[in-house]
């Protein structure tokens, strides 16, 4: 891990897919004026690059090479996040259920995780970093002053994803989404490398019955209790 990773405060937000990590992480980072690391996007991008370059998802060496040399840009266009892979806008392509499933397979491979580890830790620069993923608190930033494990019931996560797809004009079966989420949870928790689990010193927060603003407020309060994370707008 680089020296900068130990100098800047880091808030890690881990948890299963559909728990709201992406939205919550973005909003907390915006409120604090901190940087944001969407680690899941890196695995999705590796899987996307594999499809583009005809690299099989069980080719560990080939995938590790792709991960180490990803030509990626994270941009903001009209206030919305935009992800570019080799000059191509893949923002929507990497957010499909199929892309998430492929990313989960790729993330289970140790050579890929090793290839991405340094790249992820280098995101920790002043004034601070919100790191969203599945092993941010357990592997990438074990010294983070605040670690959150964000979760929600599988049924609620499937409902949220179903609503999100409907709003995007995509037809999807709620029962199929639930099965996909349950299968991904099992794969992520049972993998031998960096399995999905809370860090020993993480705070678990169940968002099943919480609103997005409630979760954002809770996390910024927890940071403030530790004397870090004052918003740029705060006196």
Going by C-beta distance under 8 Å and a sequence separation of 6 or more, which residues neighbour residue 144?
9, 10, 11, 12, 131, 136, 137
Q: Is 15 annotated as a binding residue?
A: yes
Q: How far apart are CA 38 and CA 132, in angstroms?
A: 5
Q: Is 96 annotated as a binding residue?
A: no
Q: Is 213 annotated as a binding residue?
A: no
Q: Is 20 annotated as a binding residue?
A: yes
105 within 8 A of 47, measured Cβ to Cβ: yes
List, as residue ranges, the binding site: 15-23
List, as residue ranges, the binding site for ATP: 15-23
């Amino acid at each position: 891990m680089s020296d900068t990773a130990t100098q800047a405060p880091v808030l890690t937000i881990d948890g299963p897919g559909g728990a709201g990590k992406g939205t919550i992480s973005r909003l907390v980072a915006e409120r604090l004026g901190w940087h944001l690391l969407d680690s899941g996007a890196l695995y999705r991008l590796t899987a996307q690059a594999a499809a583009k370059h005809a690299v099989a998802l069980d080719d560990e060496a080939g995938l590790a090479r792709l991960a180490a040399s990803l030509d990626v840009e994270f941009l903001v266009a009209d206030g919305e996040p935009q992800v570019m892979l080799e000059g191509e806008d893949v923002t929507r392509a990497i957010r499909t259920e199929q892309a998430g499933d492929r990313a989960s397979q790729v993330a289970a491979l140790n050579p890929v995780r090793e290839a991405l580890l340094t790249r992820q830790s280098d995101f920790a620069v002043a004034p601070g970093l919100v790191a969203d993923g599945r092993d941010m608190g357990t592997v990438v930033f074990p010294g983070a002053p605040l670690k959150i494990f964000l979760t929600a019931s599988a049924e609620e996560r499937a409902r949220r994803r179903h609503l999100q797809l409907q709003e995007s004009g995509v037809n999807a079966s709620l029962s199929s989404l639930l099965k996909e989420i349950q299968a991904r949870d099992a794969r992520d928790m049972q993998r031998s490398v960096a399995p999905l689990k809370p860090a020993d010193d993480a705070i678990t927060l169940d968002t099943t019955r919480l609103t997005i603003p409630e979760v954002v407020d809770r996390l910024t309060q927890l940071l403030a209790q530790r004397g870090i994370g004052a918003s740029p707008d705060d006196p």
